[in-house]
Amino acid sequence: MTDYRAQFPVLVNEPDLVYLDTAATAQKPQAVVDAITRAYACDYATVHRGVYRRSQTMTEAYEEARATVARFINAASPAEVVFVRGATEGINLVAQSWAAANLGEGDEVVVTELEHHSNIVPWQLASEIAGFGLKVIPITPDGDIDYEAAARVIGPRTKLVAVTHISNVLGTLVDVKRIVALAKAVDARVLVDGCQAAPRQIVDVQDLGADFYVFSGHKLYGPTGIGVLWGRLDVLNAMRPYHGGGAMIETVTFERTTYLPAPQRFEAGTPHIVGALGLKAAIDYVTAIGLPAIRAHEAELTRQAIEALSRFNSVRVLGPGHHTGIVSFVMEGVHPHDIGTILDEAGINIRAGHHCAQPLMERLGVGSTARASFGIYNTPADVERLAEGMDKVVRIFR
């Protein structure tokens, strides 16, 4: 079996570290670090502007990164791939350029109780401008989507449904195609937050049938500050630009400006060139391993973690039990921050808090949770360390 830990400098430099916060941000493999270093140290130049060879070479590399993303999610064309700072900016772009511009009073955007704040707040901001309403699909008691309720919530006034692919809190795997079918029945568009799905399973945007799909590079073993908004080309080209500036225009006069087609119309200014190259390296890395292998690896670690945590009578694992690399839990009488602090003293990094999902916390009846999330570099030994750490927590608070 491949020793993936050896491919991650942080874990080589700190061999005793148990990093269980990949759902927040993944560690970076040497291949990504090398790609970023090479881009800055050897190849760097601006893109889409210079006529000199170095600039043209960098432009080709930048656009090849876009093509790599398109292949990774099976987009119909690289032109459907917009580089943004992250999934948050991608959702805000759609909220401002599509929802705020096309919707009004009487229209509705639908979200679910599973959503991250980044898939709630942008729609609220856009609704303040356009006047449309916001409706919510509830979850079942075990943390899955209530699909029967979804069929009632999504109706004639629904113009867009925004839904996570995998919950960052509960690991719930949403049946996106089922949601898309409900939305398309009323001629509504669908945006999918794929932050937790893109790093751990095959994403085929054409097969899903959604209109927009977003994900962040840093959760996919790539750099921060780079992400992807995929959209259907006809929809993107009908949207107003989100930012104005250089590189996204056809002509500019003081009276009128015309814009380039997608994706350039949404990439004003000098882009995060090296971030795009780092993202390409990350995609090449996970593709070489194989997303089905990554998914199977994380599913087994998730199963082991749920089993280990369930041995403690005072610990309750939340969620429907989908093995998607994310395990949230609470401990009777103990704040998740205390759990996180004690585990940190043992060299175990987990997340403790509301995970940018306060409405979901309220629905679950908890203020916050402890969360362990897995990546390709985690091993069964990490799960054993987590169990040992939780045993210490139990003994301290007994």
SS3 content of the chain, % helix, strand, coil (to 5): 45, 20, 40
Please list the residues that pair with 369 across neighbouring strands: 353
Overall residue count recorded for the chain in this entry: 398
Rounded distance, CA 115 to CA 135, Å?
12
Q: Using only C-alpha atoms, what is the Rg of the chain?
A: 22
Alpha-helix runs per DSSP H in the chain: 9-13, 30-38, 53-72, 87-94, 100-102, 121-130, 147-153, 176-184, 205-208, 233-237, 273-289, 291-309, 336-345, 358-364, 380-397
Helix axes 121-130, 87-94, angle to 10 degrees: 20
What residue type is assigned to position 77 of the chain? S
What phi and psi values does residue 293 have, to the nearest 5 degrees? -70, -40
* Active centre residues (catalytic): 356
